[in-house]
């Protein structure tokens, strides 16, 4: 069985700062990590490898630094890593990205038939959750989003049974292979890699593919040209909470009346309502 996991290198959003003056995101010094949601997808794939001896390919698109994220995926036990990297991809939105990834997947499939494509449910930088489904649509793959658990795979009959989370509960869904699944977080934390795997990953070559390697001829579908999304404005949201205020006094009754006075002054409508209730 051949499983491909789509991963992305993202800035660690818990460490991002907004430039106090320009309001832009300061990426300087912010560590780049493997998108945390992708780790759940990777772990799911690794479980398939444990159970069925699947071959795992990790695929990413990004600048050359993203190699580090792929190397990390290799250290957990993935077998092969491919990075799509080309100046022509710069500025791609989710539409262009899914086009490029789909092209690369086609290429990979032509060498080794793909059975399942995994993706995290979303990335923590873009937060759109569009790329996985976009790829599935372009390749005409069955799409299973928000998958919690893979219950059963019948490789002979090319069938898979999964639990996917819906708004009202859990759906038990059966699907044809090949398919694309986006994996929900929180159900299988990534394993601790063995030392031989770490060493293998540190030595292993990450394949770097440019657009031609991925079989993309039409550059109007990728990069800025292929991206209809326009970022109108970036700003840091102001905290909606005002500063805390300290009220001083000894008597609880006095403090209460001061508090009420302040509240009513700020929210006259509350005062009206309270007074009505009292009456």
3-state secondary structure of 184: coil
- 223's tokens: 């990069």
For another protein, the closer CB: 111 or 195 = 195
Geometric angle at alpha carbon 142, from 110 and 90, rounded to 5° = 60
Question: How far apart are CB 226 and another protein at their closest, in Å?
Answer: 33
For another protein, the closer CB: 79 or 149 = 79
For another protein, the closer CB: 205 or 249 = 205
Residues 6+ positions from 176 with CB-CB distance below 8 Å? 142, 158, 159, 160
Question: How far apart are CB 15 and another protein at their closest, in Å?
Answer: 10
Question: How far apart are CB 194 and another protein at their closest, in Å?
Answer: 4
Residues 6+ positions from 43 with CB-CB distance below 8 Å? 76, 188, 189, 190, 191
Query: Whose CA is closest to 36, among 69, 85, 78, 3?
Result: 69
- 196's tokens: 């031989």
Backbone angles phi, psi at 231, to 5 degrees: -85, 110
For another protein, the closer CB: 72 or 121 = 72
Question: How far apart are CB 34 and another protein at their closest, in Å?
Answer: 11
For another protein, the closer CB: 77 or 178 = 77
Cβ neighbours around 130 below 10 Å, total: 17
Question: How far apart are CB 21 and another protein at their closest, in Å?
Answer: 6
Q: For tokens 């991809």, what's the residue?
A: 89
Judge contact between 93 and 227, C-beta under 8 A: yes
Sign of CA dihedral 166, 171, 175, 179: positive
Task: Give the interface with another protein as residue ranges (CB under 8 A).
Answer: 17, 20-21, 29, 31, 192-196, 198-199, 202-203
Query: Would you give the distance in Å from CA 35 to the centre of its chain?
Result: 6
3-state secondary structure of 210: coil
How far is it, in rounded angstroms, from Cα 49 to Cα 9? Answer: 23
For another protein, the closer CB: 177 or 208 = 208
Question: How far apart are CB 148 and another protein at their closest, in Å?
Answer: 27
Question: How far apart are CB 66 and another protein at their closest, in Å?
Answer: 15
For another protein, the closer CB: 26 or 234 = 26
Question: How far apart are CB 224 and another protein at their closest, in Å?
Answer: 29
For another protein, the closer CB: 203 or 279 = 203
């Amino acid at each position: 069985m051949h499983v491909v996991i789509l991963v992305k290198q993202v800035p660690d959003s818990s460490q991002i700062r907004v430039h106090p003056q320009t309001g832009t995101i300061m990426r300087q010094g912010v560590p780049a990590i493997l998108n945390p949601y992708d780790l759940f997808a990777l772990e799911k794939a690794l479980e398939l490898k444990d159970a069925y001896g699947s071959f795992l390919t990790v695929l990413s698109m990004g600048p050359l630094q993203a190699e580090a994220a792929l190397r990390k995926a290799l250290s957990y036990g993935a077998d092969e890593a491919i990075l799509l990297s080309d100046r022509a991809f710069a500025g791609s939105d989710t539409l262009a990205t899914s086009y490029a990834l789909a092209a690369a997947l086609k290429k990979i499939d032509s060498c080794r038939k793909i059975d399942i494509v995994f993706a995290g449910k979303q990335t923590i930088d873009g937060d759109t959750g569009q790329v996985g489904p976009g790829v599935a649509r372009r390749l005409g793959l069955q799409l299973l989003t928000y998958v919690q658990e893979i219950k059963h795979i019948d490789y002979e009959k090319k069938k898979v049974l999964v639990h996917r989370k819906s708004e009202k509960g859990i759906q038990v869904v059966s699907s044809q292979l090949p398919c694309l699944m986006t994996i929900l977080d929180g159900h299988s934390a990534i394993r601790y890699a063995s030392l031989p795997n770490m060493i293998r990953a540190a030595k292993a070559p990450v394949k770097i593919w440019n657009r031609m390697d991925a079989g993309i001829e039409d550059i109007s579908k990728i990069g800025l040209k292929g991206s209809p999304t326009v970022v109108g404005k970036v700003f840091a949201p102001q905290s909606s909470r005002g500063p805390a205020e300290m009220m001083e006094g000894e008597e609880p009754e006095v403090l209460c009346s001061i508090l009420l006075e302040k509240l009513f002054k700020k929210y006259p409508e509350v005062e009206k309502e309270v007074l009505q209730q009292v009456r």
